[in-house]
Amino acid sequence: MPSFPFRDRRRSALNATGCVQEILQCRAMLHDNRLQNRFLKDLVTKYSVAQRKLTDLNRQLSERQERMDEDLRAAAGIQKSLLPVTLPRISNLDIAWRFLPSETIGGDVFNIFMLDEHHLGIYMLDVSGHGVPAALVTVSVSQMLLPHTGLVVRKNPTSTSGCNITSPREVMELLDREYPLERFDKFFSMIYIVLDVRDGGFAICNAGHMPALLFRSDGGIEKLKKGGTVIGLGGMVPFEQQEETLYKGDKLLLYTDGVTDFMNSRLERFGKDRFTHAARSFHHRPMEEMVNGIHVAMTAFGDGFPIQDDVSILGISRKKGSLTTDPLSQI
């Protein structure tokens, strides 16, 4: 068979071209592999740096959370220290209270104290919001309401007792001027009462708080709402007070909305009706049993669900026995 040099040369050229292409492909693959390796190394390096940063951030967040928890525990301790440790022992009065703190620090506080030889000062307040800011306002207001500050009791040398007791309406007006909303970014609801322990007469002013319930010995219930708006609005509505009498066998109950707004796992509210029903069922029992009965009813309704807000309950009843000659003795 004859030889065709042209074809041989062409075949050789094609073979050479194929080799070159293979070499180029190999080089390209090697280059791609180097790029991929470099890319992978960069990714690993960036991931390591990101991991270290994330670890540092987690550590910083843990430290900040720990500091916040310490602050909240401190605020909770301060809040509890403002509650009455001991109560005035008055022979014709029966007094009981219950405070259940929520997981987040709230602004509930209440107290009961002697204003003079024959009068009790009683208050309950609830600062808006939660956390340390609400607790700080709570502390400040409770300090203002101490008898020696001059707000609830004023010195008067011409008076037989040497002092004048500030009326509940005046107390609300003074606090409303001292705690404007634009200054503290907080408002608070409050009830303030001045009770004469001799005859049970009392004056009460309600500043946007849950109405006090007056359980009469005959089974009737009166809601004491008279007062005004919450403290902090700058006297938009004038405060009023009302005069009532705690007769023998009557019970006066103060509480915060943490009681009535408490929700169970089905998001049902305990509500005013359940609260009133629970209290009414104990209105012939000692005050401690009424307060405890409300707590038991709440617990049963919640079925283990945690409370969402501070729960405060304060009850005062006038015993049916006669008043002794010396009704007062401090514990």
In sequence order, the 6+-apart residues with CB closer than 8 A to the CB of 152 are 115, 121, 145, 146, 165, 166, 171
| pLDDT attached to residue 31 | 67
- Amino acid letter, 161: S
Task: Specify whether the CB–CB gap between 226 and 262 falls below 8 A.
Answer: no
- Per-residue b/e over 262-280, b at no fewer than 16 CB within 10 Å? bbeeeeeebebebbbebbe
pTM over 0.85: no
Domain residue ranges of the chain, discontinuous segments joined by +: 1-81, 88-330
CATH class in words for 88-330? alpha beta
> Residue 46 has which token pair?
């960036």
pLDDT single digits (tens) 57-67: 787 777 776 77
| pLDDT attached to residue 213 | 96
Which residues of the chain carry a pLDDT beneath 70? 1-20, 22-24, 26, 28, 30-32, 35, 39, 65, 68-82, 103-106, 158-161, 321-331
d(CA 99, CA 313): 7
| pLDDT attached to residue 321 | 62
d(CA 75, CA 165): 31
User: CB burial class (10 A; 0-12, 13-18, 19+) of residue 291?
Assistant: buried
In sequence order, the 6+-apart residues with CB closer than 8 A to the CB of 272 are 260
| pLDDT attached to residue 3 | 53
